[in-house]
Amino acid sequence: MSTAITRIKIGFEQDVVYARQRARLLADVLGYDLNDQTRIGTAVSEIARNAYQYGGGGEVEFALEGTPKPHSFTITVRDHGAGIKNLDAIMEGHYTSHTGMGIGMMGARRLMDDFRIETAPESGTAVFMKKNLPLTTTEITPVVLNRIADTLAAQRTESPLDEIRIQNQELLRTLDELSRQRKELEDTNRGVLALYAELDEKVIELQGVDQLKSRFLSHMSHEFRTPLNSILALTRLLLDRADGDLTPEQEKQVTFILEAASDLHTLVSGLLDLAKIESGKMNVTPRACSVEEIFSSLRGMVKPMVTNKDVELIFEQQKNIPELFMDDGKVSQILRNFLSNALKFTVSGSIRVLARTDENQSIVSFAVEDTGIGIAAKDLERIFDEYAQVETAQQGRPKGTGLGLPISRKLAELLGGRISVVSTPGKGSTFSVHLPVRYGSESTPAPDTAQKAMLPFQVQYCMKPIDREWLLGALRDIDRRAPIEKVLIIDDDSTMRHVFRNHLIDTDYTLIEAADGATGLNLAHDARPGVIVLDLIMPGMDGFEVLEQLKSHPSTQSIPIIICTSKLLDEDDIKFLHRVSGADRGSWKS
């Protein structure tokens, strides 16, 4: 429901000025601010001028919509013309006129909250405009309407010249407001630029923190590994009865110590791997290899893990799988994680390690299939979250770090592949990694390069703690090529030297010890050992410098070197070992 306030006839140009004055005055009485008063007066002036100029005259009606408390101020302008042709084109801004027709209507529409036109050749044109009332506007009573009428009656009619003066004043106020808003915008822009600069600083700071974290993990991994390796080596010596028999209770306690140290060692290794992958420092080193090589290496690595006689470990591969070109070390790490989980959750039955290719022989898939307890469908994605572990009714709280599968997924993505899992609770699980047969787009290595990669060489590498069986096997392999009498160990860790003494105590080898690099280098020249076991991280002269000097001197360059260290080698370390050894790859024991 609307309440009419006043009407103005538009017959002369002076009436257009009068309509604008009335519109501005009513806007002032109704509580609009100066900006809205100007907007309303300008809109009424433009539409009233159209009615006079194009419609042959008309009228302007002012009203309030809504009672008892109105919500909008409405203005209706009607003319007596023949309607507006091309109205849609005019309102969309596509119509051009030498008289400027349409510009006023488009401007008025922008100034008002609601704008609507009805036009027809036989009835002329009616323009309906609304402006929402300020929230401070009170209830419109007869008293208020009388006050509005008195205000309108008391208004002095301004001349066109006076109206131009008022419009100029309004224009100046508008320009001043625009200037103020521009200054605010400039201040805002400066604030945004300052915020971006601060965000850039935070990004740089976070990158520095991330690099610091990676350096910390890399450094502390060695610091953690050194005492852990000592614990692992000494507990194994005790369990091997190297210093005499143990009571059943002592054996149980030492076994607990060994298991706890092994879990912590796995956690430290997992954290470092995760940090290297996330920082982009995990390098891919592809080479020509075969499924047989990967399976052979994997058998040796998982053999100590298979302690349950009720579980059979089976390796199967599809016939005619082509030669692979990939980082076989990282593939073995993925499969080792799969096997570790399978062994944890398989009480009886079998664990099968499978390899097959697709029809085009472009994708090779390795799978670990078990007959264990299985995984519920709701947990299949969660198991790939870092540190996530699934508690089961059969086994209660799970063992492990919760990093094996997340690292495996990241490694698979790094190799250009993906991981999939299928599982049925109570029947078992199958974890698969699908990889390109040839990593990236690199071409097949030349035959002499592939052959050279398989030749024996003079530098080998293994991770601490060194396994006695592996050490004796490596020494026998070297002994077959050149007889060994003396074994020189260069290691600043007295515990590891003690472990080596125990490993060789019942052999024909003579052990010579050096607690630092410089002493070890002198002993290598003087004693001429048949093989040198070398640690890399030592104070003063480290193992890298010792190795380089050994390989650069004619009297020691042919001595085989076994590097035994807690340091995880990065790409630069591997390149260095390849350079000093004069071969393409090493013997690796993780």
* Binned average pLDDT, 10 residues per bin, the chain of 590 residues: 87 88 88 88 91 90 82 92 83 66 79 92 91 78 73 63 60 70 78 79 74 64 73 84 85 84 72 66 81 86 78 90 89 89 88 90 92 85 69 53 78 90 90 90 37 46 79 87 92 90 90 95 94 92 92 89 81 77 47
In a 13 Å sphere around the CA of 428, the CA atoms on its Cβ side amount to: 20
Whose tokens are 């699980």? That residue is: 429
Q: Which backbone phi and psi does 62 adopt, to 5 degrees?
A: -105, 135
Give residue 183's pLDDT: 78
Selection from 142, 153, 50 nearest residue 103 by Cα: 50
CA–CA distances in Å: residue 539 to residues 220, 456, 536, 546: 16, 31, 10, 12
Give residue 447's pLDDT: 35
Predicted TM-score of the model (pTM): 0.44
Contacts of residue 335, Cβ cutoff 8 Å, sequence gap at least 6: 294, 298, 353, 366, 368, 433
CA dihedral 420, 422, 428, 434 (to 10 degrees): -30
Q: Which backbone phi and psi does 417 adopt, to 5 degrees?
A: -125, -160
